[in-house]
Structure 1
């Protein structure tokens, strides 16, 4: 084994959802990491403890053991600290189902506790783009705005916190709020602007809009206009910022539902955060 250096001093934050849903994978991850690095283990019971542990990391490299929601939470904490530029994160994806780590897999993190933990030890940090909205909240993957009446329940791995009764109430409110009024199901009426240039306006109904990190420090936006008869090709662009506005709309950012809002702007931040990925992964 190579001599230990600064990158071998880790703070391993194990999300409570991971501990409840897949304790065996958590144990494997701890064993593999402990065999190759000096560890400080933290077992937070909720988002507040999670954030405090990350804020008190000192010079240790943070490793998150958990699902996509835990990864997003860690990036959000570092973003609020304005510490993303100086901190390289690592993640061992652990969740109750494969969809709960979909984002981590899309970013290039290997599946399986052993492979992911070995990547923490032997991988290399890569700088990745992200999106920041006008509330200063981050998006690591994509934003999707469906047509009116489309389901917007949170995907597995979306943020979960609070007591069980609170989660039940939140779920009921989301369900009732997502139901369109009678006669309102169908295409949305939205204005979509890319760097100030209007791609579609309120007079053009759309079936959906997506905004994602597109590489090169730009966001990639695609609008799917509603068609009657002959098909209408999607409208796409790459831009520094994307603004969507119109009647109240909901959207899904990294799988978590937000809104309703009347306007939202997402701005691309090039190479804004670091994630440890396999050394042989193509950039």
Structure 2
């Protein structure tokens, strides 16, 4: 049996908890056509140890985007990415990155791609602290919607729907109910303070691409986006803040990108990091391999 037919299947604990059926299907499909050794790590440390002890077996990650990012990060820190092609069977709620990379969705199709696919070498963004970016990096990170809008909506629903829920004429027998409903209507009619809170202020950042200044601290920006390409360069987009007419985004291609300024956070793939004062990302051409359909 060739080394290609010997697999180390590392099943992320989140995948086991969220979709045990897809995990079982993936194991069955892989086990029917290859020699499989299954590893069930309990956490990140066990996950890293399993990859380090893979021997000649091809590593197959069963999990979501975070599991794939973790695997690439572990192999990068061990300096073993160049000699190892990863495979992934996406299982879990977060599969944006794996789909963008071309991995089939669904346990059966993804498992067959592991068995029948080919290795594709992909560029990688590596920062000055050995962090990796497979898909997109965004500064500042996308902020989730606060719970305040939900509270306001539920209050409005309760105010408008409170009377019909009880029997007709209930207010006449329960004067306290009429007072409560009046109070709720008063609250619901007031503008929500949470909804009026403005979004994050434009950031003051200095962005350099291959040593060339793209934007300086005197020009506030709405966002900075970095994406590794497939030719040794990263795509860099800087969206400047403007008053009135929309400012055109600045787009450049570079091998090394440095961002500095006041403390800022960034989202690298599915992980938010920071705050930091400065960070440099460098493109590593063809640094990692992923098994994809032919």
Instruction: Tell me the C-alpha RMSD between the 2 structures.
Output: 1.6
- Paired position in structure 1 for 2:82: 85
C-alpha separation in 2, matches of 1:68 and 1:268: 20
- Paired position in structure 2 for 1:219: 234
1:277–1:184 distance in 2 versus 1, CA, 3 Å: closer
C-alpha separation in 2, matches of 1:209 and 1:197: 16
Alignment of 1:186-205 (within 5 A): 186-205=201-220
C-alpha separation in 2, matches of 1:214 and 1:205: 26
In the TM superposition, what is the alpha-carbon distance from 1:193 to its structure 2 partner? 0.5
- Paired position in structure 1 for 2:11: 14
Q: Which of residues 222, 241, 251 is equivalent to 2:256?
A: 241
- Paired position in structure 1 for 2:143: 151
- Paired position in structure 2 for 1:139: 133
- Paired position in structure 1 for 2:39: 42
- Paired position in structure 1 for 2:169: none
C-alpha separation in 1, matches of 2:200 and 2:281: 26
Note if contact 1:152-1:257 (Cα within 8 Å) is conserved in structure 2.
Answer: no
- Paired position in structure 2 for 1:121: 115
Note if contact 2:65-2:270 (Cα within 8 Å) is conserved in structure 1.
Answer: no
SS for the counterpart of 2:97 is: helix
- Paired position in structure 2 for 1:23: 20
Higher helix residue share: 2
In the TM superposition, what is the alpha-carbon distance from 1:183 to its structure 2 partner? 9.0
Note if contact 1:15-1:64 (Cα within 8 Å) is conserved in structure 2.
Answer: yes
- Paired position in structure 2 for 1:61: 58
SS for the counterpart of 2:4 is: helix
C-alpha separation in 2, matches of 1:185 and 1:19: 37
Bigger Rg, which one: 2
1:54–1:141 distance in 2 versus 1, CA, 3 Å: same
Q: Output the TM-score relative to the length of structure 1.
A: 0.83
**1:39-93 superposed Cα distances (whole Å, 9 cap, x missing partner):** 0000111111111010000000000000111111111111111100000000000
SS for the counterpart of 2:113 is: helix
SS for the counterpart of 2:14 is: helix
Which structure 1 residue ranges, 5 or more long, are not aligned?
A: 154-181
SS for the counterpart of 1:273 is: strand
Which structure 2 residue ranges, 5 or more long, are not aligned?
A: 146-196
Note if contact 1:152-1:251 (Cα within 8 Å) is conserved in structure 2.
Answer: no
C-alpha separation in 1, matches of 2:59 and 2:281: 27
- Paired position in structure 2 for 1:256: 271
1:5–1:117 distance in 2 versus 1, CA, 3 Å: same
C-alpha separation in 1, matches of 2:257 and 2:144: 21
1:183–1:119 distance in 2 versus 1, CA, 3 Å: closer
- Paired position in structure 2 for 1:102: 96
Q: Which of residues 58, 73, 79 is equivalent to 1:76?
A: 73
In the TM superposition, what is the alpha-carbon distance from 1:215 to its structure 2 partner? 2.1
C-alpha separation in 2, matches of 1:94 and 1:219: 28
**1:108-128 superposed Cα distances (whole Å, 9 cap, x missing partner):** 100000000000000001100
